[in-house]
């Protein structure tokens, strides 16, 4: 029986466990990436481990999230990250060099390698044939120190692509179709592996768009084969030596199969407020719009931008629409400037933003009150744009551009003939915005620069033998990390200051949560299904840790957030009987006795609701390693204990 591509790469990197679906395995990590919203904590954690120099093949720190410098905080964080990278062997991509996933795809990603990044959209690297996984900052810090990265051995879903996309139908429409079929929970515990004759019709940037938004499925990662298309892309990036052909065996066996005829797809949009709330553009109709934003790690490649420029050429943006465009990297921006496409965008009335995440992470360009904004981004969670009642639709660059001209949502298939858009035979290469770290001989001479906003991260204590705590918050299904720990221009600068950022924890759901949790001293959070979906931000675990949260009890968890809770020393438990969720109210006092023994030896926790006087059970599906981590008080304590 043959192997899938996923199984080939994972087995080649397997250092612990067996390739048994659903079991915990440990894999060797070749590359890591961080971004500045999560990176400061990751490097503080790396420092705390006491490892003098990173042990990966390549680790890169990117500045792309917190680029709006309205105070000293972001600039101080950038300076800290730059200095610690110089000292400890990490390459540093300076502000303005571009979005981490776009730049990594262009300059550092290698087929067949493993990559973890402290950003949930790290699976973008699957577009070039990598096993690329989003993780918490602590997991990345451990990997940089040479430690093993642990995941649940995934099931592999074959997404068989046939045919060819029709004119003005895009890769964005492919992944929106997958989300429409499978939902934001449909990829949990799975890798999406793209195969079929349709694969060869998609360029690497198009493949990367699809793998990028695989994160919205809750998937461990997504991957395309490394083929002649991959080789051409790497050759154009002057990295042909990094190419290796990779594909699944012809007799590979998959756990599920999804068939997609590319030729049958039409332009789609994800409607507010979830990436899987997908409808066709024709179905939504000619909806008046207020804003269009083009860019993000999903759709900011040179190929995307050239299509946008073609549509905008000789046109003027509708007077009722604000259009903002953010090229994904310095390379993209430079080439647009050289070939005249940038001038076309400016002539049309577009507002050109820096090569960074920008409005995708709520860093500027918030729409007007109740404004309808079309965005080529990957998430449209409520409030994420910075406008609480903003109506955010996720669309392709083609749909975004033609709609910006007309002033209403427009099917790009009405444009007319589509020219051939192709990857250039040679990209403009200039890596002068990537700082090489000091060599080992000079490490001791490098000073790490810390600003006053950088505070130590909260360290949890070893687990106590009992918990008696009130429920500080009860929430429903599909709570995202944006609900738990919001982003945006006001909050992101506090990422290095857990005491301060914790004041905003759950503010989207309950403005009084922070105060109530502090007053309670220790507490428990109760949630519904798919709790913690979205970003990899470990602040969504560290802020509750600081506020005294001891356990999160839900119907089900998203993968990365559950791992982050364990890393922080917070118990992630799920109702054995989901009906018990309805029996618990906020402020109810829950008690768990003999906790150490239960965590160590049982898959079930026996819990008493002391307020309502009934007992119920919760499940803790944990590996032996995860149990030991909880008992130690989190990954940092566990790592120190086992150094």
Residues classed as catalytic: 64-65, 119, 379, 535, 537
Q: What is the spatial distance between Cα 33 and Cα 93, in angstroms, rounded to a whole number?
A: 10
Query: Can you tell me which residue has the tokens 């496409």?
Result: 341
Q: Which of 215, 237, 221 is nearest to 360 (CA)?
A: 215
Q: What is the spatial distance between Cα 66 and Cα 56, in angstroms, rounded to a whole number?
A: 26
Q: What dihedral do alpha carbons 636, 637, 638, 639 form, nearest 10°?
A: 50
Q: What is the spatial distance between Cα 528 and Cα 508, in angstroms, rounded to a whole number?
A: 16
User: What residues have CB less than 8 Å from 265, skipping those under 6 apart?
Assistant: 165, 166, 169, 173, 174, 177
Question: Which SS3 state, helix, strand or coil, does residue 407 take?
Answer: coil
Q: Which of 386, 417, 388, 415 is nearest to 399 (CA)?
A: 415
User: What residues have CB less than 8 Å from 579, skipping those under 6 apart?
Assistant: none
Q: What is the spatial distance between Cα 546 and Cα 389, in angstroms, rounded to a whole number?
A: 30
Q: What is the spatial distance between Cα 527 and Cα 533, in angstroms, rounded to a whole number?
A: 12
Tokens standing for 51?
């490892």
Structure letter (DSSP) for residue 368: P
Helices 204-212, 302-312: axis angle to 10 degrees equals 100
Tokens standing for 579?
């009906």
Q: What is the spatial distance between Cα 480 and Cα 476, in angstroms, rounded to a whole number?
A: 11
Q: What is the spatial distance between Cα 642 and Cα 563, in angstroms, rounded to a whole number?
A: 19
Q: What is the spatial distance between Cα 12 and Cα 16, in angstroms, rounded to a whole number?
A: 12
Q: What is the spatial distance between Cα 205 and Cα 125, in angstroms, rounded to a whole number?
A: 10
Q: What is the spatial distance between Cα 350 and Cα 404, in angstroms, rounded to a whole number?
A: 9
User: What residues have CB less than 8 Å from 588, skipping those under 6 apart?
Assistant: 470, 471, 609, 610, 611, 612
Torsion sign over Cα 113, 118, 123, 128: negative
Q: What is the spatial distance between Cα 550 and Cα 573, in angstroms, rounded to a whole number?
A: 11
Helices 302-312, 330-339: axis angle to 10 degrees equals 40
Beta carbons of 493 and 67 less than 8 angstroms apart: no
Q: What is the spatial distance between Cα 605 and Cα 626, in angstroms, rounded to a whole number?
A: 15
- How many C-alpha atoms does 213 have within 13 Å on its Cβ side? 32
Burial (CB count <10 Å: 0-12, 13-18, 19+), residue 190: buried
Beta carbons of 225 and 248 less than 8 angstroms apart: yes
């Amino acid at each position: 029986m043959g192997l899938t591509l996923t199984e080939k790469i994972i087995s080649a990197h397997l250092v612990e466990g067996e390739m048994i679906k659903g079991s915990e395995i440990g894999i060797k990590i070749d590359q890591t990436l961080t971004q500045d919203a999560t990176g400061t904590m990751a490097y503080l954690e790396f420092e705390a481990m006491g490892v003098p120099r990173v042990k990966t093949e390549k680790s890169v720190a990117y500045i792309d999230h917190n680029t709006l410098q309205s105070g000293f905080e972001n600039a101080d964080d950038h300076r800290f990250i730059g200095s610690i990278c110089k000292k400890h062997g990490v390459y540093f991509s300076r502000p303005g060099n571009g979005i981490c996933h776009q730049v990594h795809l262009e300059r550092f990603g290698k087929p067949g390698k493993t990559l973890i990044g402290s950003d949930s959209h790290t699976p973008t690297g699957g577009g070039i044939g990598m096993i690329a996984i989003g993780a918490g900052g602590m997991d990345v810090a451990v990997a940089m120190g040479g430690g093993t990265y642990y995941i649940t051995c995934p099931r592999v879903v074959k997404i068989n692509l046939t045919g060819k996309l029709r004119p003005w139908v895009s890769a964005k429409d492919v992944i929106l179709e997958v989300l429409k079929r499978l939902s934001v929970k449909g990829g949990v515990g799975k890798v999406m592996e793209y195969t079929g004759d349709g694969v060869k019709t998609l360029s690497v940037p198009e493949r990367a768009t699809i793998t990028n938004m695989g994160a919205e499925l809750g998937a461990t990662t997504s991957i395309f084969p490394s083929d002649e298309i991959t080789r051409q892309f790497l050759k154009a990036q002057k990295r042909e030596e990094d190419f290796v052909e990779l594909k699944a065996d012809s007799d590979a066996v998959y756990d599920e199969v999804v068939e997609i005829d590319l030729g049958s797809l039409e332009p789609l949009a994800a409607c507010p407020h979830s990436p899987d709330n997908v409808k066709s553009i024709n179905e939504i109709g000619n909806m008046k719009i207020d804003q269009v934003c083009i860019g993000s790690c999903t759709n900011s490649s040179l190929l995307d931008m050239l299509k946008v420029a073609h549509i905008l050429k000789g046109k003027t943006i509708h007077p009722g629409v604000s259009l903002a465009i953010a090229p994904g990297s310095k390379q993209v921006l430079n080439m647009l400037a050289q070939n005249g496409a940038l001038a076309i965008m400016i002539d049309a009335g577009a507002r050109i933003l820096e090569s960074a995440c920008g409005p995708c992470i709520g860093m500027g360009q918030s729409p007007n009150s109740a404004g309808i904004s079309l965005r080529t981004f990957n998430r449209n969670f409520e409030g994420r744009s910075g406008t609480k009642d903003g109506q955010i639709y996720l669309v392709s660059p083609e749909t975004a551009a033609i709609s910006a001209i007309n002033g209403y949502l427009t099917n790009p298939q009405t444009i007319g003939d589509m020219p051939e858009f192709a990857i250039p035979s040679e990209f403009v290469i200039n890596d002068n915005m990537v700082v090489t770290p000091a060599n080992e001989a000079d490490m001791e001479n490098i000073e790490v620069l810390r600003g006053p906003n950088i505070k130590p991260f909260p360290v949890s204590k070893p687990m106590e033998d009992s918990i008696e705590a009130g429920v500080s918050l009860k929430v429903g299904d599909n709570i995202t990390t944006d609900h738990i720990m919001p982003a945006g221009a006001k909050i992101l600068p506090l990422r290095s200051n857990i005491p301060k950022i914790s004041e905003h924890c759950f503010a989207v759901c309950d403005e009084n949560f922070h105060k109530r949790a502090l007053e309670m001293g220790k507490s428990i959070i109760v949630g519904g299904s798919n709790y913690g979906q979205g970003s990899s931000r470990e602040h969504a675990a560290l802020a509750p840790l600081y506020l005294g949260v001891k356990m999160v009890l839900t119907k089900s968890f998203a993968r990365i957030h559950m791992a982050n809770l364990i890393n922080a020393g917070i118990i992630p438990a799920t109702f054995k009987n989901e009906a018990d969720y309805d029996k618990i109210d906020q402020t109810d006092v829950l008690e768990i006795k003999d906790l150490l023994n239960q965590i160590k030896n049982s898959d079930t926790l026996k819990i008493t609701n002391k307020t309502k006087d009934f007992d119920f059970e919760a499940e803790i599906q944990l590996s032996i390693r995860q149990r030991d981590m909880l008992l130690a008080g989190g990954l940092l304590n566990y790592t120190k204990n086992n150094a």
